Chains A and B, each alone.
Chain A
Amino acid sequence: MMKRTHIYIIIVILLCLSALALINNAIYLSMQRNIAYLIFQNKMEVYEGASRQLESTSQMLSAVQTAPEPWNHGPYLVVSIAEHYLWYKQEGKVIFKAPVATGSEKTLVRLGNQQTWRFDTPRGRMVVQDKQEDPIWVPPDWHYVEQSRLKGVTLFHLDYGKTLTLSDASVVSVVGYNVVRRQPNGATQILTASEKKEIILDGMLVIPPLGTTARRYKGVLGPYSLELGDGYAIHGTDQPESIGHSVSHGCVRMYNEDITKLFKLVKIGTPVYIY
């Protein structure tokens, strides 16, 4: 009976020792586990922070990508001076294209008053300001300077109220919208002019005043013209052989069949980018 009690006591003592060891180990493991959980929690917080940032950037990206484009560009014209080419485009796609002639980039200096003209096609942005059918060309002064040089004659600038008396005693003056030559016997003749057929009298090339019929040339600009302002235009030509070259006085020339097609496509207000 005593022996069994002793065995029980020994077992109880062993169980107590075992429980103490297990408690000790459990406390140690619990501390380690808690520290690990703290680190894990910290990592999760960092992850959650990053996740919130991701959500924020995703929303911003989505907002920017789905926002309307800054400006839904309408059709526009592009002219490459170097390549002598014109494109009519919309959103980068070519609707129409054609070869052109552009400014000669030459300089003309008028002796005497030292006036200088530079025949460049202007680079930059312009706008189609007007559309004209059967456009009339009003030659600028440089045209007469060029022609006088080509023909080896001097220039006479005829103004309203001014007269030019010729060697045969006839008098040239402006009557109404016409340049008129009056003979000594009273007979009158309306003088007309066209390209390369200017009024040359007594070795003088007459520059008619602006607004007169003698300063309005038909057919030079082809059947249609797109006016760009400042005297520049995109137009047809009576010199189709000039297309593809740097020969104009700054305007953009096209074949007449091309300007006919383009004229129907382009609206007033269309931007024109020349580079």
Chain B
Amino acid sequence: MLSKILVALMGVLLFLNVILFSLNVLYKWEMKQIPSLMTKAEQLRLETISKTKANRMALNMEITRRMAKENTQLHLTVDTTKHLMFLASEGAQLRAMNIKTGKDTLIGSPPDRVRMVLPAGKRLVTNVVDDTYVWTAPAWVYAQRKQRVPTENALKGGLGSLAIFLDSGTVIYSRPEVGPLNDDNYVLPGSIQISSTDVKAIRKAVQAGMVVYFY
């Protein structure tokens, strides 16, 4: 009788052991799966946030483009993807100009590191200067150009016959006759180079306070 009870108990215990063993295996398997699921979720989250940011940027660009079209005052618009700048008013393109843009560049060393990039959105012209303007080229420009900084680097006409300064730090200029910017293949980082023909055409139309849209 006792041996029968023991055998039955053994059977029950064996079954319980099998169940518990299976649970352990299952939990371990799930534990192995979760990190990869979490990585996937994290990837999805990052991708989604990145797409959201891209959408927001595209939304801002589109809104800026439409703001430019509605501006009844004479203004400049810069289409950074098509490399075109327009003199425009209330959606009418008065002049289309081909532009060259400076490469995005990090200058300085930490913690005083500055990223020189073209701005986005609405900016203002702060100053317009001609070839009498004396421009001191920063040392990093000479470094990029692999040139030695001259002892006297304050250059009259160093920004060409017309330079338009924006509140973002961007400079719209034509190739000067002197200095490190006297090169069609090099554009000041975060800035815009236009042709001297365009400069002559728009110089009397551009004044401080004029709006410049970047999209």
A residues lining the B interface (CB < 8 Å)? 1, 4-5, 8-9, 11-12, 15-16, 18-19, 22-23, 25-26, 29-30, 32-33, 36-37, 39-40, 43-44, 46-47, 50-51, 53-54, 57-58, 60-61, 64-65, 69-71, 73, 76, 78, 80-83, 89, 91-92, 123-125, 271, 273, 275
Contacts and interface: CB of A to CB of B under 8 A. Distances in A.
Interface of A (DSSP majority class):
helix
B162 to A, nearest CB: 11
Contacts of B48: 47, 50-51, 53-54
A32 B96 contact: no
Interface of B: 2-3, 6-7, 9-10, 13-14, 16-17, 20-21, 23-24, 27-28, 30-31, 34-35, 37-38, 41-42, 44-45, 48-49, 51-52, 55-56, 58-59, 62-63, 66, 69-70, 72, 74, 86-87, 89-96, 200-205
Given A5-B3, A8-B3, A23-B20, 8 more contacts: A22-B17, A32-B27, A32-B31, A64-B66, A78-B94, A89-B92, A124-B74, A273-B89
Given A57-B55, A82-B200, A33 B34 contact: yes
Given A71-B91, A78-B94, A275-B205, A19 B13 contact: yes
Given A19-B17, A33-B31, A50 B49 contact: yes
Contacts of B27: 26, 29-30, 32-33
Contact of A37 (B34, B42, B200, B201): B34
Given A12-B13, A15-B14, A64-B66, A54 B52 contact: yes
A12 B9 contact: yes
A36 to B, nearest CB: 4
A-B residue pairs, 3 tightest by C-beta = A22-B20, A15-B13, A29-B27
B201 A65 contact: no
A57 B57 CA distance: 10
Contacts of B37: 40
Contacts of A25: 20, 24
B210 to A, nearest CB: 12
A75 to B, nearest CB: 9
A123 B204 contact: yes
29 contacts: A11-B10, A12-B9, A16-B13, A19-B17, A22-B20, A26-B24, A33-B31, A36-B34, A36-B35, A43-B45, A46-B45, A47-B41, A47-B45, A50-B45, A50-B49, A51-B44, A53-B49, A54-B55, A58-B55, A60-B59, A65-B62, A69-B91, A70-B70, A71-B91, A73-B92, A89-B92, A275-B87, A275-B95, A275-B205
B28 A19 contact: no
